[in-house]
Every structure is written in C-alpha cells, then in structure tokens.
Amino acid sequence: AQSVTQLDSQVPVFEEAPVELRCNYSSSVSVYLFWYVQYPNQGLQLLLKYLSGSTLVKGINGFEAEFNKSQTSFHLRKPSVHISDTAEYFCAVSDSDYKLSFGAGTTVTVRA
C-alpha cells in the first residue's frame, strides 16, 4: 500500500494571502492522487484529483495542485485564500489497488 506524508500539520494564513500545502507519497509505477477538504463537522469532499495527462490540475474553489513524478509530490496551492477556506485538507493516493491511503491532514486557519 502507498504511504502519504503531509509535511505541515497546521498552516495559519491571512485572508487574501497565498497558501501551499505539501504532500509527498511513496513511489510506485503509477498512482492516482487526490486532495480532499473537510469543513468543520462535515465529511470529506473532493477538491481535485490527478489521474493522467497535464501535471497541473485545477479543482474547485480556486485550488490547484501540481504532480511532480520525480519528487513524488502533489502540492496544493491557492493564490488568495478566503475565511471560508478554513478547513482540514487531506492528500490521498491510490494505485492499481484502488483503495485510498490518506495523509494525516493539514489544518488551514485563515485569519482576517
């Protein structure tokens, strides 16, 4: 099974500032990569995913992520955050075994 490392457990950021959440995974022949978001007291919902093709993936709410095979990374970025982006973000990976492996999560707190 894949393993996923989210390098930051907490990321405080001011409103309208950019944010980057880092994710690395254990290498494999081919992987599928995901970012999920969890708003307070809710389940997880998909932000974006990489299956193949362009390494820059755009998701909902202005988020994007870049797949870097040589560095086995899939970092998530947003150029300008809003208060409503306060949430926990999970990186996840699957390979030919379709089950997902999740990282420990990164809590983003956006301050005015």
Partner 1 sequence: NAGVTQTPKFQVLKTGQSMTLQCAQDMNHNSMYWYRQDPGMGLRLIYYSASEGTTDKGEVPNGYNVSRLNKREFSLRLESAAPSQTSVYFCAGDQGVSGNTIYFGEGSWLTVV
Cβ-based nearer residue to partner 1, 6 or 24: 6
Cβ-based nearer residue to partner 1, 9 or 80: 9
The residue length of the chain stands at: 112
∠ CA 11-47-100, nearest 5°, is 95
Q: Where does this chain bind partner 1 (CB under 8 A)?
A: 1, 4, 6, 9, 32, 34, 41-46, 49, 51, 90, 94-100, 102-105
Cβ-based nearer residue to partner 1, 14 or 39: 39
As measured in angstroms, the least distance from the Cβ of 85 to partner 1 is 19
Residue found under tokens 């999560």 = 105
Bridge partners, 54 (sequence order)? none
As measured in angstroms, the least distance from the Cβ of 17 to partner 1 is 25
Cβ-based nearer residue to partner 1, 1 or 83: 1
SS3 79: coil
As measured in angstroms, the least distance from the Cβ of 7 to partner 1 is 13
Sign for the CA dihedral angle at 43, 45, 51, 54 comes to: negative
CA distance 32 to 68: 12
- The bridge status of strand 87-94 relative to strand 32-38 is antiparallel
As measured in angstroms, the least distance from the Cβ of 43 to partner 1 is 4
